[in-house]
């Protein structure tokens, strides 16, 4: 699968000249669509509000323009900035054998180019105390952003952190994992696979070894492409526990929540996306998504110094083998796990079929605990974009359902629920919520 050809507008000096044109086009499009969507029948979905329809259309246009200019954000900073003491630095773990299970593992590829590095991350609403209570719970969340955007900080992830903290855990932690983009010879950074997955391993081990959380009090979570990383971490925990005593000593997290997860990168082509029945009700752009996949896969194994060590070069020389591998397209590789998995999907999103299919396959594995929650008419990843797109009410309902479902499976976290004011009121509210909702996920 070759990367999509870079548009001529992505090269300087045309890139700089094209940006004012983009801004003008977006301004004009906003005015035209504002008028066009006044009648309910003219909106992409008859159930969309004017606000939802307008912003969804503009977001797709923005994604398309990001592709046409091949715009990458600035390099990630390891300085605290406005997060102050909530931002922390995390070194790679010194536990032996954590980052490559064996020579045939997907995590063992590209050993000469992708290695663990120190990363940053942000606590919400504050860092936990040094004397951590053994009952303290935390949501370890991997943000979405097409593997190329986002940093887990308040500006981009504060909305998602508020939702997760309200309904699921005492604390939330958003890692600033390495981002893909600018790959290939002469590229600016090497955040392609498996860099983000290595960072996920680093953070999970750090929360246990350095911060002091019990593994059973950690909820793994991820939205969009972050959901791909999250489910990869769940798989790694199971595989590592079988392969390494060091990893087995870490223990298993209790659960994993996935919000519109990308579970099959093989089907993310321009043709598949633009031809999908939900294309008009979603905001994903086919060319942008093709570019995302190519950037995350990185260079071919024979390029960029890859393939000089071990036997992974011959196994992954064909790019198609990589994109179909378990840690990149988990839909094709359901697995057994003790971790309870809850998924949210929008009925109006292009990834609906693959997410529902993944829930079915995982739920079909004996012993797995899997729940699925579908949001009527919703587009892709309302945890990341729901506040801006106008889906906060529906997202809150989904997050409440996630908390109820997980607590039935044994999760201790209740969320902060700021509006309830006291522990007793929180307990009563949770009990009332559970009485009102009956039944578990559809695959239990």
Q: What is the pLDDT of residue 99?
A: 80
DSSP character for 93?
A: P
161, 141 Cβ separation under 8 angstroms: yes
Walking along the chain (444 residues) 10 residues at a time, the average pLDDT comes out as: 57 63 82 92 93 94 82 85 97 84 52 82 96 94 96 96 95 97 53 93 96 96 98 91 70 96 94 96 95 85 46 54 92 96 98 98 98 98 96 97 96 65 45 50 43
User: Can you give the C-alpha Rg of the chain in angstroms?
Assistant: 21
Q: Find, among 193, 231, 192, the residue nearest to 330 by Cα.
A: 231
From CA 110, how far away is CA 236, in angstroms rounded?
17
Q: What is the pTM of this model?
A: 0.86
From CA 88, how far away is CA 203, in angstroms rounded?
11
DSSP character for 260?
A: S
The domain segmentation of the chain, as residue ranges, is: 8-71+268-294, 81-264+298-436
Alpha helix (H) residue ranges in 97-224: 154-167, 195-206
- The CATH number of the domain covering residues in 81-264+298-436: 3.40.50.1820
Q: Which residues contact 280 (CB under 8 A, 6 or more apart)?
A: 44, 45
The 3-state secondary structure of 58-76, one letter per residue: HHHHHHHHHHHHCCCCCCC
From CA 56, how far away is CA 397, in angstroms rounded?
21
Q: What is the pLDDT of residue 9?
A: 57
The pair of three-digit structure tokens given for residue 404, joined into one six-digit string: 């109820």
From CA 93, how far away is CA 316, in angstroms rounded?
26
The pair of three-digit structure tokens given for residue 21, joined into one six-digit string: 């044109």
From CA 287, how far away is CA 293, in angstroms rounded?
10
152, 235 Cβ separation under 8 angstroms: no
> In 3-state terms, the chain is what percent helix, strand and coil (to 5)?
45, 10, 45
Q: What is the pLDDT of residue 434?
A: 54
Q: What is the pLDDT of residue 420?
A: 37
Q: Find, among 377, 437, 310, 346, the residue nearest to 53 by Cα.
A: 377
312, 287 Cβ separation under 8 angstroms: no
- Rounded to 10 deg, the angle between the 154-167 and 392-408 helix axes is 50
């Amino acid at each position: 699968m070759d990367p999509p050809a870079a548009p001529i507008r992505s090269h300087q000096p045309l890139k700089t000249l094209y940006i004012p044109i983009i801004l003008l086009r977006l301004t004009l499009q906003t005015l035209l669509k504002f008028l066009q969507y006044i009648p309910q029948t003219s909106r992409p979905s008859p159930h969309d509000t004017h606000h939802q329809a307008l912003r969804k259309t503009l977001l797709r246009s923005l994604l398309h323009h990001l592709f046409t200019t091949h715009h990458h954000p600035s390099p990630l900073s390891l300085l605290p900035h406005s997060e102050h003491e909530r931002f922390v630095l995390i070194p790679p773990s010194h536990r032996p054998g954590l980052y490559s299970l064996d020579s045939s593992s997907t995590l063992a590829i590209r050993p000469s180019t992708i290695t663990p590095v120190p990363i940053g991350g942000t606590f919400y609403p504050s860092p936990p105390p040094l004397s951590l209570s053994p009952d303290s719970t935390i949501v370890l969340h991997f943000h979405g952003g097409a593997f190329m955007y986002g940093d887990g900080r308040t500006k981009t992830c504060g909305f998602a952190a508020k939702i997760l903290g309200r309904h699921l855990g005492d604390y939330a932690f958003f890692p600033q994992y390495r981002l893909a983009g600018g790959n290939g010879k002469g590229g600016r950074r090497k955040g392609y696979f498996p860099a983000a997955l290595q960072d996920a391993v680093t953070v999970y081990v750090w929360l246990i070894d350095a911060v002091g959380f019990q593994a059973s009090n950690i909820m793994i979570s991820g939205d969009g492409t972050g959901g791909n990383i999250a489910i990869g971490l769940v798989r790694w925990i199971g595989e590592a526990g079988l392969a390494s005593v060091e990893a087995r000593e870490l223990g298993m997290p209790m659960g994993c929540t996935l919000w519109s997860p990308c579970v099959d990168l093989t089907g993310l082509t321009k043709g598949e996306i633009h031809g999908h029945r939900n294309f008009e009700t979603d905001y994903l752009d086919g060319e942008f998504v093709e570019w995302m996949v190519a950037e995350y896969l990185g260079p071919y194994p024979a390029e960029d110094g890859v393939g000089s060590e071990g036997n992974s070069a011959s196994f992954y020389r064909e790019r198609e083998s990589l994109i179909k591998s378990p840690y990149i397209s988990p839909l094709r590789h359901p697995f057994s796990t003790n971790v309870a998995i809850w998924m949210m999907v929008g009925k109006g999103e292009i990834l609906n079929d693959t997410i529902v299919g993944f829930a079915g396959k995982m739920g079909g594995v004996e012993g797995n605990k899997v729940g699925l929650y579908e949001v009527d008419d919703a587009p892709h990843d309302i945890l990341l974009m729901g506040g801006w797109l106008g889906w906060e009410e529906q997202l809150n309902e989904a997050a409440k359902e996630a908390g109820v479902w997980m607590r039935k499976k044994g999760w201790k976290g209740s969320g902060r629920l700021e509006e309830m004011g006291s522990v007793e009121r929180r307990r009563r509210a949770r009990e009332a919520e559970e009485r009102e909702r009956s039944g578990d996920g559809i695959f239990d």
